Amino acid sequence: KPELHLHFPLSVFGTCTINFGLVTVSWPHPDSANLLFGWCAITALGNLNLNRGGHLILWDLGLVIRFPPGSTILIPSALIKHSNIPIQAGETHYFFVQYSAAGLFQWVRNGSKTDADWHTSATLAERAQRAEEDKRQWEEGTSMFSKWPKDF
C-alpha cells in the first residue's frame, strides 16, 4: 500500500507547486485536476511593477486583481478560469501554489484504489450508488460557496 506524506506538517493542503522562471505567465485555465469545491492558495513572489503587469485575472468573475509579491489569495481554482498578465523585461514573477488534487480524495474514497481500478471491481449496483453520491457531493460542495444576487 503506498503511503502519503505531508509536504508541511501543519498545512491543510495536499500538495504544492512552485511556478518559477524568469517570466511566469499562465494562459486562461481552470485547474481541472483539483478538488472541484476545494480552495487553492496562490502566493505571489518576485520583483515587478504592479502598474505594468503581473495582475491576476479571474475570468468567470470579470475581475482583474493587482496581486503584489508577498500577497496570498484563495480561489476555487477548479471552478474559476484564471490567468495572469505578463510582466516587463528585467522583472521577476513567481508563484507558490498550495492545493489538493481531486485524486487524493478519490484514492481515499475508493479504499486506496484509483477511480479506474475501483470501476473495474465495482458491481453495477455500486456504480449506480456512486453516481448518486457524486451528484449529492457536487450539490453539497458547491453549496459551501457564498451566493450573490444576480444584480450585485
Residues 77-103 pLDDT 10s: 999 999 999 999 999 999 999 999 999
Structure confidence at residue 20 as a pLDDT band (50, 70, 90):
confident
Which residues, 6+ apart, have CB-to-CB distance to 40 below 8 Å? 31, 34, 74, 75, 76, 77, 78, 97, 98, 99
How many structural domains is the chain composed of? Answer: 2
| Position 121 in a domain | yes
71 shares its domain with 118: no
Q: Are residues 120 and 81 in the same domain?
A: no
Do residues 70 and 139 both lie within one domain? no
User: Which pLDDT band, with edges at 50, 70 and 90, does 70 fall under?
Assistant: very high
Minimal CA–CA distance to 63: which of 78, 50, 80, 48?
80
Enter the pTM of the model.
0.84
57: helix, coil or strand?
A: strand
| 36 in the same domain as 95 | yes
**Which domain, by its residues, includes 129?**
112-143
Q: Do 76 and 130 belong to one domain?
A: no
Copy the grid coordinates of residue 34. Answer: 483539483
Q: Does residue 107 lie within any of the structural domains?
A: no
